[in-house]
Amino acid sequence: MLVVGELINGMYKAVGKAIEEKDKGVIQKLAKDQRAAGASMLDVNTGPYTKNPKDAMKWLVETIQESCDAPLCLDSTKADVIEEGLKLAKNKAMINSTSSDDEKLEVLVPLALKYNASLIGLAMGKSGIPRDKNERMEHAVKIVTKCQEAGVPMSDLYLDPIVMPVNVAQAQGPEIMESIKEFALLCDPAPKTIVGLSNASQSTKERPLINRIYLVMAIANGLTAAICDPLDKLLMDAAITAELILNKNIYCDSFLEAYRTK
């Protein structure tokens, strides 16, 4: 599974403060620690309160790339903020994200092609958060079709069912699991799938437990990538073990170590 480290996000108080004060040390430590813990990519999100998100994105990308060579997942609701990151990214980047909204697709699909970036497609449109699996499928079909027409390979498309907190949207759990399974059936070769895992446990008392079980269940339904906290070692161990049981990786007694060495 592709692990995208979630910790460089202005939503976290310490990160928001580091962005404001241009404190490189905080960001570079988060980048290195997440890499060392097994993140293949790093999510980069300036957070909701940044006054100048374009400058913040530029500073974050430069700061991260001074300290490590991780590919970046550029996370913003604004296309111009994402492009600021794309211009600077040294490795193949990921665009986080488009929705099925035409205005979004018309800007972000060409951007993915221009920079040879992969693209996250949120299964939602203008009308907001999807209510069930059928709505998610409708949005996903629209995104897949648009990408196929434009020539974005399905191996570069990550469909996101939009994970909702289990405490306020408990009924969405099964809808989301089913969506992950059915996204992969939309075409052949199949698009990939991704979730923002920590959404699931927001404002709950058992965050690590919910995240770990949620991730294992999503993997069992075919999930191929997750934006999550790689510093939660038990979460990472759970993901590696789930993939062992699904025969996605080599069999041996020291499979955790073997996976990490690889």
Shortest Å distance, C-beta 253 to ligand THG? 34
- Of 202, 204, 241, 249, the one binding ligand THG (CB under 6 A) is 202
Closest residue (Cβ) to ligand THG?
196
Instruction: Note whether 13 binds ligand THG by CB under 6 A.
Output: yes
Bridge partners of residue 5, in order along the sequence? 42, 228
Among 196, 211, 216, 235, binds ligand THG (CB under 6 A): 196
**Residue 228 C-beta: closest distance to ligand THG, Å:** 8
Q: What number of other Cβ atoms are within 10 A of residue 7's Cβ?
A: 24
Q: Which one, 59 or 158, has the nearer CB to ligand THG?
A: 158
Residues 208-237 close enough to bind ligand THG by CB under 6 A: 227
With contacts defined by CB under 6 A, name the span among 28-36, 132-140, 160-168, 176-184 that binds ligand THG: 160-168
Spatial contact of 227 and 6, defined as CB atoms under 8 Å apart: yes
Comparison of 53 and 196: residue with beta carbon closer to ligand THG: 196
Distances (CA, A) of 92 to 112, 189, 206: 10, 21, 35
Q: Does residue 173 bind ligand THG (CB under 6 A)?
A: no
Distance in Å from the first CA to the final CA of the chain: 13
Stretch that binds ligand THG, among 8-16, 53-61, 131-139, 175-183 (CB under 6 A): 8-16
Using rule CB under 6 A, residue 156 touches ligand THG: no
Size of the site for ligand THG (CB under 6 A): 18
Stretch that binds ligand THG, among 3-11, 107-115, 175-183, 217-225 (CB under 6 A): 3-11
Residues that bind ligand THG (CB under 6 A): 6, 9, 11-13, 45, 75, 96-97, 120, 160, 162-163, 196, 198-199, 202, 227
